[in-house]
Amino acid sequence: MRLLIDNLDGQGAVEYSACLSPTGPLTIQRTLNAITRCTGTLCLAPLGMAVLVRRARVFITTDGGDTLFTGYLVSEPVPDFDEVSTRADASAFRFEALSDEWLLDLQPVTQSGAVLSSTVGDVARTLAQRSGSSVIDTTSATLTTALGVFHPDQGDTVSANLGTAAAGGYGTYRILGGALGLAQAGTNTIDFTQSNGTLALRDLQFAQGRELVNDVTVAGDMEGTAYITEVFNGDGTTQTFQLAGTPFALPDAMIVSDTFSATNFDTTVWKGTDPGSFLSLTGAGLTMSGGNGQDGQTVLALLDSVEMSGTLVAEADTTLLNAGSDGVLCGFYSGQTILQDCIAGVRIRQSSGQTIAIALINGAESGTAIPIPPGHAYTFRVRLHCNETQRVKQTYYARVAGIVTQFGGGLVDGGLSIVIEARDQGLASSTAASILFDGSISASPAVCTFAAVDAVQMFGSVGAVSVQRTGSSWVVSRHTDGSETTRLLGAVGEGLDASLSADGSMTFYPGRIPAAGEQVLVKYRRGARAIARLQDAASVGAEAATGLPGVAQWVGQVKTPVARGSVDCESAAAALLAVSSDRIAAMQGKCSVDDAQTVADLWPGDLLKVYSGSGTCDVMVRAVTLTDGNAAPESIGYAMEFANDWAKSLSMTTSNTLPADTEVPRLPSLGAASVLANLPDLKLVSASATVLQIDSGLAPPAGGGFEVRRRDAGFGLSTGDDLVLRSPVRSFQIPRLGAREQFFIRMYDGSTPPLYSRFSSAVYADLPVG
């Protein structure tokens, strides 16, 4: 090997190969999806070479000029006393260098939300961009393998997050020569059978890394389960209502909160398109000084997409708008950041020489317009609610029969309830906010871009912008005339209606207390641990044929990629089950080879074809150590460790322990094939003293209908005491017997036995009875 070092002294890369000591050989340690390490010992004095300095640039090539390593010295070299003891001078130094991504690792991993429905290449480029360092070229990082949801770990390094992202897509990353490269693991196959003739693997050791498994249980994060509608009756005096359940609180509550008090926009949070420099930061915050008159060309948008799940509140605080303003504030966009792609936002424009604000819904103005007087500071809010708490499904990968196979992925449909409000901050804190829009859309994208401003031509300032996920709750009042209005939840003194605590206590503010005869409907999701259990029936049967128990079970939790719901757990379980009964997939071991350069430079993620007495076995390289043979002609030794998917999963990390709140299913399921659609849009049409009128939201399947029970269990053919009714039609009535009742509804079909919805929709009634 040739060693060249740029010692930061203006000399450029100087060759230090002659200084290498054979007793401390030059070694390169490559690990799958991790930083590469290089070590060696140099004897400097005899050749008069300069002592190395920290951050010196290191290059290692073959004698033929192929690059094996590029990186940096991470510390000053230290004396190698073993080497010194054999020499007449004290000039031997041990050095350590790390590959180029070490420079990225010196930067903090910035706070960010999940990367949604993206690719490995996009995530890798975003991670490098967020590091704030421009030393790594990411233009060739184009691996298009899909990732469902990727959560950067703020407590880990950039390289560790790069490794996690690449592994999540069954890929590998390496940084060589200052460029980030990505590839799918196993793409490069090295044949050590008949094709090379001159090479032989030494010290080949095989082992079975894990036992056969044909029954897999996977736990994930907490998820929203039952879709609950809880109804109370107002009496004009009752201020506090206690929910029967605790609303599910989604993670990543604060998506962004920026007071724009810095000198420049935070490029780890925002991405801007502003060729005319019309957006800036001043003492007033985000300052808008015009635009080029073209929609979508002067924009400040979040770098991360936003999942349209649960309840979202976007706010532009202390907003001052001047004459001539035209654009959108707090907009959520399904495609480009232009008016026609805006799902919901605050449209600002001129009308008869006056600035007005009006809601923009699905690209069209809707609702009520209000004038915005000059000099008045406003708070604008866009509230969105989706009954679904997960709109992006996770992806998992495994190598099945030699093919990288995807499990899971996809998006979840869902409508949105929308309220857009404006509050003049100069009015009394008890003054109700002006409602620009209160309605819904039946379908919405699962993922949107959020833009603080899309300025066709905007003049004024915004003091602060925030987007937060407030949970899974949404409150509506149904008045005695049958009309409905959304109740606004938030802090006191902001012109809102009520607060809702984490334990389910809802308190209305003075002047907002529900009137006599007014019904208050609270929609929320109940939380539980995501769990799934799948079984390979063929393998169980084959094992049982030996006369011994056929089930071989594995129980654990998926750490990465995160399983946010039961559907994700099923996908992860299916990926594990696809390889856990394959003996080749459980193979692990190690081997060595000399002069592998004549075949190929070996890297982790390469696939080795290894010949054994029973045939050819494919194994995935996980780590490679290169050692300089200190010989002429050049000799490089390669020591490799390998492991296939079941021996050591490449695309996911798991734990053999379960959270204490996990309830393991008693019987395995068939996954998504064993359930019907949920009823997220089930509606309590009316509630009287004698009946609850229900619209299930879906037509019943052939031969099926809707089953109502008093507890969230026991759905099936049984007719126990908790069975209330089965309805073969979409709309039906539930008779009332008591003031406080709970009813759980699932759809079922005509199969034998019938299939049911995965989760219940529930109605909790706390109303007087006749």
Calculate mean pLDDT across residues 747-751: 96
- What are the backbone angles phi and psi of residue 525, rounded to the nearest 5°? -110, 145
Pairing label, strands 215-233, 553-560: parallel
Q: Are 454 and 338 in contact (CB under 8 A)?
A: yes
Give the integer Cα–Cα distance in Å for 106 and 147: 26
Q: Would you call 227 exposed, middle or buried from its count of C-beta atoms within 10 A (0-12, 13-18, 19+)?
A: buried
Q: Would you call 270 exposed, middle or buried from its count of C-beta atoms within 10 A (0-12, 13-18, 19+)?
A: buried
Which of 6-20, 370-384, 687-701, 724-738 has the lowest average pLDDT? 6-20
**3-class SS of residue 380:** strand
Which of 78-82, 84-88, 355-359, 694-698 has the lowest average pLDDT? 84-88
Give the integer Cα–Cα distance in Å for 352 and 161: 54
Calculate mean pLDDT across residues 172-181: 95
The pLDDT tens digits for 440-491 are 999 999 999 999 999 999 999 999 999 999 999 999 999 999 999 999 999 9
Which pLDDT belongs to residue 83? 54
Give the integer Cα–Cα distance in Å for 716 and 699: 19
SS3 sequence of 181-217: EEEECCCCEEECCCCCCCCCCEEEEEEECCCCCCEEE
Give the integer Cα–Cα distance in Å for 211 and 554: 10
Which pLDDT belongs to residue 134? 76
Strand runs (DSSP E) across 582-682, as ranges?
587-594, 607-612, 615-628, 636-643, 653-655, 675-676
Highest mean pLDDT among 57-71, 125-139, 623-637: 57-71
Does this model's pTM top 0.85? yes
**pLDDT-above-70 percentage for the chain:** 96
Q: Is the pLDDT of residue 511 over 80?
A: yes
Give the integer Cα–Cα distance in Å for 371 and 351: 9
**3-class SS of residue 577:** helix
Give the integer Cα–Cα distance in Å for 633 and 221: 56
Give the integer Cα–Cα distance in Å for 395 and 558: 12
Calculate mean pLDDT across residues 334-347: 97
Confidence category of residue 293, pLDDT binned at 50, 70, 90: very high
Confidence category of residue 597, pLDDT binned at 50, 70, 90: low
Give the integer Cα–Cα distance in Å for 607 and 334: 41
Q: Is the pLDDT of residue 612 over 80?
A: no
Calculate mean pLDDT across residues 271-297: 96
The pLDDT tens digits for 616-660 are 788 999 999 999 988 777 888 899 999 999 999 999 999 998 999
Which pLDDT belongs to residue 162? 95
Confidence category of residue 73, pLDDT binned at 50, 70, 90: very high
**pLDDT-above-90 percentage for the chain:** 76
Q: Of the candidates 434, 432, 451, 415, which has an alpha carbon nearest to the alpha carbon of residue 333? A: 451
Which pLDDT belongs to residue 195? 46
Confidence category of residue 76, pLDDT binned at 50, 70, 90: confident
Calculate mean pLDDT across residues 70-77: 91
Which pLDDT belongs to residue 90? 53
Which of 170-174, 496-500, 583-587, 688-692 has the lowest average pLDDT? 583-587
Calculate mean pLDDT across residues 35-49: 86
Which pLDDT belongs to residue 472? 96
DSSP state of 721: T
Work out the angle between the directed axes of helices 120-130 and 158-168 (0-180°, nearest 10).
170
Which pLDDT belongs to residue 201? 75
Q: Are 760 and 744 in contact (CB under 8 A)?
A: yes
Q: Are 634 and 20 in contact (CB under 8 A)?
A: no
The pLDDT tens digits for 250-259 are 877 899 999 9
Give the integer Cα–Cα distance in Å for 62 and 600: 12
Q: Which residues contact 631 (CB under 8 A, 6 or more apart)?
A: none
Which pLDDT belongs to residue 194? 45
Which pLDDT belongs to residue 610? 78
Confidence category of residue 159, pLDDT binned at 50, 70, 90: very high
> Six-digit token pair at 146?
């899909």
Bridge partner residues of 424 (DSSP): 378
Per the prediction, the chain carries an average pLDDT of 92
Give the integer Cα–Cα distance in Å for 663 and 225: 14
Do you find a cis peptide bond into 753, omega within 30 degrees of 0?
Answer: yes
Q: Is the pLDDT of residue 493 over 50?
A: yes
The pLDDT tens digits for 550-594 are 999 999 999 999 999 999 999 999 999 999 988 888 999 998 888
Strand runs (DSSP E) across 254-293, as ranges?
254-258, 270-273, 279-282, 285-290
Which pLDDT belongs to residue 594? 80
> Six-digit token pair at 318?
């202390």
> Six-digit token pair at 249?
């609180």
Q: Would you call 148 exposed, middle or buried from its count of C-beta atoms within 10 A (0-12, 13-18, 19+)?
A: buried
